[in-house]
Structure 1
């Protein structure tokens, strides 16, 4: 691992978000000052240079602990453009046929896999065999079986597998988790998660089951699945679900348009969630307890996240999610940091087991027991 001793960062609320979570959001500007980072830096190659890969690359410009140093793509023109834009050397550029050679490149520590869902499984296993750490976008795989195989491959190779759960580092989210852990909401009784939007281009990969593994649930619904777990603080023990499809031409067999699902938790709380590709104005989390409530809306978008509780508005620092995510993941991989909410492969397998159960419940019409 390398160290950048002369890398200066002007600390803004976004860049120091995680250190500010436990502090008052009303800190005076005078407390923000220039500091010098002198620790290890995670050198990352991004696989998949699409819109989200570009968002991550842009966010990494202001990282202190992570640096974009390589690319993997099947499009030579994109590689050339990224080389020029981000200063990536030729020796750190690979395509989908030859990226196993990263095993012999000491200048790359980790690969961030940002490809269509169905391609994650093979890519993560190949990167693991090349002895590099892996960060994989969510959902980590198209089902729990493939997800577990990815976890096993990384364990066997002696590398770490993290998943792009950016909300696990978001400041408003972490404040609600802190309050819930402190008992400020009393006994948690109910969670509602609304995740969805009206999807456009019918030819995109998200509407191709062979690439996406499903429909809205695999893309946007996973936010409510995962959110129910970190907001309530437990893993569910049963699920029921119902599917609605109004446009079978656009949403073909195996590509869900809208799914409503309900989760039961061991402490007695229940969750009611919606995942859809046919409605806007959603993106809302609501947590209710015997002594208070918390609401986020927007809850999982790129920002700014907004929230309130029974005690008033949340005014946590506004952060660039991917910047904080990559810095915090660097801390996990290089310094052994423990995140407040897990972001490893086993965390992702739990979500995949829930997704499998939701699809099963939509077909059977029966309650499905969960064993996470």
Structure 2
């Protein structure tokens, strides 16, 4: 990891004086241990203690309980890492996902921070930079992108560009000496994915693909239930991800930029989530696709695709994805004595997890509520933890490459009238393409 900014300088006299005068009620609890056994309210805040609080030592804050044991527990304190210890991110591309989700999520991160922007729209970037406090010297165009190599504040480049640009900017970013977090799908071809992996390995940098579902707590709970056979063996998984696309001139409708239509954009959630839940790799796939004639949105890309995945354990997955119908983002796991359902499952917010269990013939339904967490913040903080502690990300480049290979087999089947395509399974190991799982604190 490149050098992080130096710690904040010592407090100036006026700031130190302010802390000493006002800190008795605010900071005494945190420094009482260093000042002896005085009651917290009576512990004086000296200049030396104030500097210690602001600059060194553990930073987690603990507060005394104020409610009776009968009361629901309140929200826990976020306890983010000090700003100078967080991993610095340069975000490339200022479209909807970046502005609506990623930049707000960075403000909720505990281990990550925004330090630079890259965009081809100078006016928009200037406005965003002012909104998020990014200095002009940390704003780059696509032409000056390679100059990120000279910015020690940037540890990670997060690529949020049209799919066809992922390979180029990953390879250039790795050559600039930065770790890479890349949006899904990883690229437009398996060959490009392989080149991305090779470039990062050659540069000694980490590569992670942004499969946020694999870091989201309720989806991880379903994985736990599936893997533990909570309702007996899983038999069938049904997954659907559809949405009604808008104007035809957007990049997602151009094959050269997107690589395909509904499948690589939103159908990938069905494919990747099923693989994530089971830990297995499909042995055989089959697919059918169809586009509405004369719809200008689908001149170059597919509108709808139905596909099946057959796994070595005997589990069958039936997946549906489409660009021309009302939003539906759900899946259901059918097991021997019950089912587990996420609806919605793939949305950014408002996920719901339900189950039905009937081991003795009496069905019992329940909703599982684990609280909403920002999926993008969890994802980025996982990568930051891997960067700082030299761990392999849970969703590395190899995970994205495997999905791309499977999607290419699905297109092959669809072009051949749905004829099944057998896949090479080089290993029977579970989670063969995944790295270090997210820590408990992140989930």
TM-score with structure 1 setting the length:
0.90
Matched, 1:125 2:171: yes
Distance in 2 between residues matched to 1:86 and 1:190, nearest whole Å: 46
Match of 1:250 among 296, 303, 309: 296
Match of 1:351 among 403, 406, 418: 403
Q: 1:272 to 1:201 in 2, by over 3 A?
A: same
> Cα deviation per residue 1:144-186 (whole Å; 9 max; x = unaligned)?
1111111111111110011111111111101111112222132
How far the C-alpha of 1:207 sits from its partner, in A, is 0.5
Match of 1:96 among 115, 124, 142: 142
After the TM superposition, which of the residue ranges 308-317 and 33-42 deviates more from structure 2?
33-42
Asked whether the 8 Å contact 1:10–1:34 carries over to 2, the reply is: no
How far the C-alpha of 1:137 sits from its partner, in A, is 0.4
Aligned to 1:163: 209
> Cα deviation per residue 1:4-37 (whole Å; 9 max; x = unaligned)?
78598999xxxxxxxxxxxxxx994247246463
Matched, 1:83 2:137: no
Matched, 1:135 2:181: yes
Q: SS of 2:103's equivalent? A: helix
Aligned to 1:370: 423
Match of 2:4 among 2, 5, 11: 2
Q: SS of 1:280's equivalent? A: strand
Distance in 2 between residues matched to 1:207 and 1:45, nearest whole Å: 27
Q: 1:271 to 1:158 in 2, by over 3 A?
A: same
How far the C-alpha of 1:246 sits from its partner, in A, is 1.4
> Cα deviation per residue 1:68-127 (whole Å; 9 max; x = unaligned)?
000111111122112201111222211111111111211100110000111111111100
> Cα deviation per residue 1:276-321 (whole Å; 9 max; x = unaligned)?
0011142111111223321000010011110112252111121121
Matched, 1:32 2:99: no
Asked whether the 8 Å contact 2:78–2:110 carries over to 1, the reply is: no
> Cα deviation per residue 1:194-253 (whole Å; 9 max; x = unaligned)?
011110111111101111111111111100010111122211111100011113432445
Matched, 1:333 2:379: no
Where structure 2 has 5 or more consecutive residues not aligned to the other structure, the ranges are 9-53, 63-69, 358-365, 426-443
Where structure 1 has 5 or more consecutive residues not aligned to the other structure, the ranges are 12-25
After the TM superposition, which of the residue ranges 250-259 and 147-156 deviates more from structure 2?
250-259
Distance in 2 between residues matched to 1:9 and 1:274, nearest whole Å: 45
How far the C-alpha of 1:40 sits from its partner, in A, is 3.5
Asked whether the 8 Å contact 1:231–1:287 carries over to 2, the reply is: no
Distance in 2 between residues matched to 1:48 and 1:346, nearest whole Å: 24
Matches within 5 A, 1:298-337: 298-311=344-357, 312-336=366-390
Aligned to 1:58: 104
Aligned to 2:87: 42
Give the ranges of 4+ consecutive aligned residues of structure 1 lying more than 6 Å apart after TM superposition.
7-11
Larger Rg: 2
Matches within 5 A, 1:106-117: 106-117=152-163
Asked whether the 8 Å contact 1:134–1:159 carries over to 2, the reply is: yes
Matched, 1:67 2:67: no
TM-score with structure 2 setting the length:
0.76
Asked whether the 8 Å contact 1:245–1:251 carries over to 2, the reply is: no
Matched, 1:297 2:350: no
Query: Cα RMSD (Å) of the superposition?
Result: 2.3
Aligned length: 356
Match of 1:183 among 229, 232, 237: 229
Asked whether the 8 Å contact 1:40–1:334 carries over to 2, the reply is: no
Matches within 5 A, 1:198-213: 198-213=244-259
Q: 1:274 to 1:36 in 2, by over 3 A?
A: closer
Distance in 2 between residues matched to 1:34 and 1:230, nearest whole Å: 28
